[in-house]
Structure 1
Amino acid sequence: MCVLDVRDFDGRDPAVKFIAGSVADKDAAKAAVAGADAVIHLASSVVPKTSNDDPACDVSSNLIGTLNLLEASVGAGVTRIVFASSGGTVYGEPTVPIVDESHRTEPISSYGIVKLALEKYIALYGREHDITSVSLRISNLYGEGQRHDTGFGVIASFCHKAVAGETVDIWGDGTVSRDFIHVSDVVDAFVAALDHDGDSLVVNIGSGTSVSINTVLDTIATITGREVPRRYLQGRAFDVRHICLDVGLAARTLGWKPRIDLNEGLRRVLEWSQSTANRPSSRQIDSSTET
């Protein structure tokens, strides 16, 4: 069964209109884009692991759902679409240490395959309907406010467990490396994409550096002053082993560069995790390395 999650929304900002629904629902998609000049498409119902568990769900909810959103956007007269693609999955296993947008795309999960297909469909609709499209291939996103109990977001899970004194599960030997990007930098990238006055783009958004899962835990231990217990589990076939994104194109076309380094970002997340440590958890934590 495919389940779509709607994140909590407290409705405190009067400028924000919240519509609970799925892009797979044509009426909900139309309601969401009515009167809009631009669409930022962030919706996704799966992560790499769950996408491989049920590829049909991935296609029906995310690919077909996005086509609904695109049709609704055309009908509403939208002139710009910014899409949250995946810099950690669309390339597959990199053949070079630092990956730019010209690297071949051979995703090893349904999640990456669908993200890549969505880039193509968004570009197609852009050409056919005079819509500027910007697909941001985002690396491993993290930051304050990210839920630790969704099976997505290794740093959120690690920081929560470090604060709680719990054991961290690591898939593989911990040498898997990722390009971690702080949420504030990603928000800046979306703003830059909305302001972009050039041609349609597909562009990497990352830190331009890569660190191993073991290094992340070592850094958390240094910041907190105490070791984080670890349990190593068998690696998973859908996890890309190493990824580091070249973000030069984003600098040249969008005028964007990352500002928050990993040490500062981890400090922020640890402080936030500490401040929310007494809140009840609704799900089992999965400290995955998914992108």
Structure 2
Amino acid sequence: MKITIIGAAGFIGTNLTKALLKNPENSLRVVDNNIKYFTNLTDSELSRCEVLASTFDVNTDFDTLVRDQDIVYHLVSTTVPSTSNQHIPQELVANVVATSKLLEACVSEKVRRIVFMSSGGTVYGKDEQSPIIEESVTTPISSYGLQKITIEKLMYLYNYMYGLDYRVIRLANPYGPYQRPNGVLGAVTTFTYKALYDEPITVYGDGSVIRDFIFIDDAIAAIIKIAESDCDERVFNVGSGSGTSIAQLLDAISVSLHKILNVNYQASRPVDVPINFLNVNRFQHLFGPIVHVSLTEGIKKTALFLTENVK
């Protein structure tokens, strides 16, 4: 299968690339802003990919990127939830308008299917009862979530007008190897890293915020099953199916690593939804269990990776 991954050098893209390369029948074209970003792929892995450097914006030559491809994975976002409300017009152009250009290219180049990495944590907003099903009302309270749901609707439109097949992955909060422990995204990875090196951990609010954490290997396995399936469903929640409070997460890290944590509590942020975890029955009905790595086991795996690879 011929597959293009746009945003392939990031956390999800790196793990997805490595997983797809395990199938010798796959031919991968991996795309990111700079070829130098692909430092997490081995020489052997890189030799089996077509590696391209490209921006993701309204001027990108998307036709070249997706030409002669069966599946295109769209993993790019130029923003993160915590800061997306600061530059709403610019972010809409950078993500929504640019994606419409990508969809135009997929149609003109006859791509079989596009897979979009949406957000189970932000598209639903704060009013839905957890666990949240895919049919729930989408009322995001961040520009990040608004961009994601708008792109989802664009994909529906291009399917309606041109027959472009698509899959939407509403992903919860993945964590694990190759995620940067910089505190911008990824509470599990960031907190684990700071715990390992006895650094202060910043928590916004009192620790009662509830999130849905899934180990990256489980997330990637689910994403590939969805992307390659010819089922009738197009939108899928991908998460653990259960909620964990930040306080519970901190306790799990402390117990797993045998560490006393130095936690610094700060005022809560308006973009943080109080409770969010996903109902994953749609996935499990079609494909079976989604979680194979528990949170405790995942923390230990993440800690081992960080100890061996990140200083």
TM-score by length of 1: 0.89
**Which has the bigger relative contact order, CA under 8 A and spacing at least 6?**
1
Tell me the residue number matched to 1:262. 295
Is the 2:54–2:60 Cα contact (8 Å) retained in structure 1? no
Matching of residues 240-255 of structure 1 within 5 Å: 240-255=273-288
Measure how far apart 1:271 and its partner are.
0.9
Q: 1:57 aligns with which of 90, 94, 97?
A: 90
Tell me the residue number matched to 1:285. none
The secondary structure found in structure 2 opposite 1:88 is: coil
Q: Does residue 230 of the first structure (1) align with residue 263 of the second (2)?
A: yes
Is the 1:132–1:200 Cα contact (8 Å) retained in structure 2? no
More off after superposition, 203-212 vs 91-100: 91-100
Q: Does residue 170 of the first structure (1) align with residue 207 of the second (2)?
A: no
Deviations 1:76-121 (A, max 9, x none): 1101111111001011114323111121111000000110011010
Q: Does residue 77 of the first structure (1) align with residue 77 of the second (2)?
A: no
Matching of residues 2-17 of structure 1 within 5 Å: 8-10=37-39, 12=43, 13=45, 14-17=47-50
Tell me the residue number matched to 1:187. 220
| Compared CA separation, residues 238 and 23, structure 1 to 2 (3 A) | same
Instruction: State the distance in 1 between where 2:274 and 2:52 align.
Output: 38
Q: CA RMSD in A?
A: 1.8
Runs of 5+ consecutive residues of structure 1 not aligned to the other structure = 279-291
Matching of residues 273-288 of structure 1 within 5 Å: 273-278=306-311
The percentage of counterpart residues that share the same residue type is 32
Measure how far apart 1:277 and its partner are.
4.1
Equivalent pairs counted in the alignment come to 275
Tell me the residue number matched to 2:272. 239
Tell me the residue number matched to 1:22. 55
Tell me the residue number matched to 2:27. none
Runs of 5+ consecutive residues of structure 2 not aligned to the other structure = 1-31
Instruction: State the distance in 2 between where 1:95 and 1:66 align.
Output: 27
Deviations 1:12-65 (A, max 9, x none): 222222222222154442222122111111111101122111112210111011
Instruction: State the distance in 2 between where 1:232 and 1:114 align.
Output: 30
| Compared CA separation, residues 243 and 27, structure 1 to 2 (3 A) | closer
Measure how far apart 1:256 and its partner are.
5.7
Instruction: State the distance in 1 between where 2:174 and 2:212 align.
Output: 9
Tell me the residue number matched to 1:284. none
Q: 1:36 aligns with which of 60, 64, 69?
A: 69
Tell me the residue number matched to 2:140. 107
